[in-house]
Amino acid sequence: MDFIEADARTFDSEKRFSMIYLTGNAFQAFLSDEDQRALLETVYKHLESNGMFIFETRNPLGADLSNQEESIWGNFIDKDGIKVKVTGTQSYDSSNQIMHWVTFRDWGSEKTTSRIACRFTDNDTLQRLLTSRGFFFENQYSNWDKTPFTPLSPSIISVCRKKHGA
Crossing angle of helices 33-46 and 123-132, rounded to 10°: 50
Task: Report pLDDT for 165.
Answer: 58
33 pLDDT above the threshold of 90: yes
Contact call for residues 8 and 42 (beta carbons, < 8 A): yes
The answer to whether residues 132 and 152 belong to one domain is yes
Say what the pTM is: 0.89
12 domain residue, yes or no: no
- Give me the mean pLDDT over the 36-42 stretch: 97
**Distance (Å, whole) CA 80 – CA 76:** 11
CATH, residue 108: 2.20.25
138 domain residue, yes or no: yes
4 domain residue, yes or no: no
pLDDT band at 2 (very low <50, low <70, confident <90, very high): confident
The answer to whether residues 72 and 115 belong to one domain is yes
Tell me the residue ranges of DSSP E strands in 23-82.
47-58, 68-77
The amino acid occupying position 2 is: D
The answer to whether residues 77 and 45 belong to one domain is no
139 domain residue, yes or no: yes
The answer to whether residues 55 and 136 belong to one domain is yes
Domain region containing 75: 68-119
* Closest by CA position to 58, among listed 166, 147, 142, 114: 142
The answer to whether residues 125 and 115 belong to one domain is no
Q: How far apart are the first and last CA of the chain?
A: 28
The total number of structural domains in the chain stands at 2
54 domain residue, yes or no: yes
State the CB neighbour count (10 A cutoff) for residue 129.
15
What percent of the chain lies above the pLDDT cut of 70? Answer: 98
CATH, residue 29: 3.40.50.150
**Distance (Å, whole) CA 22 – CA 101:** 21
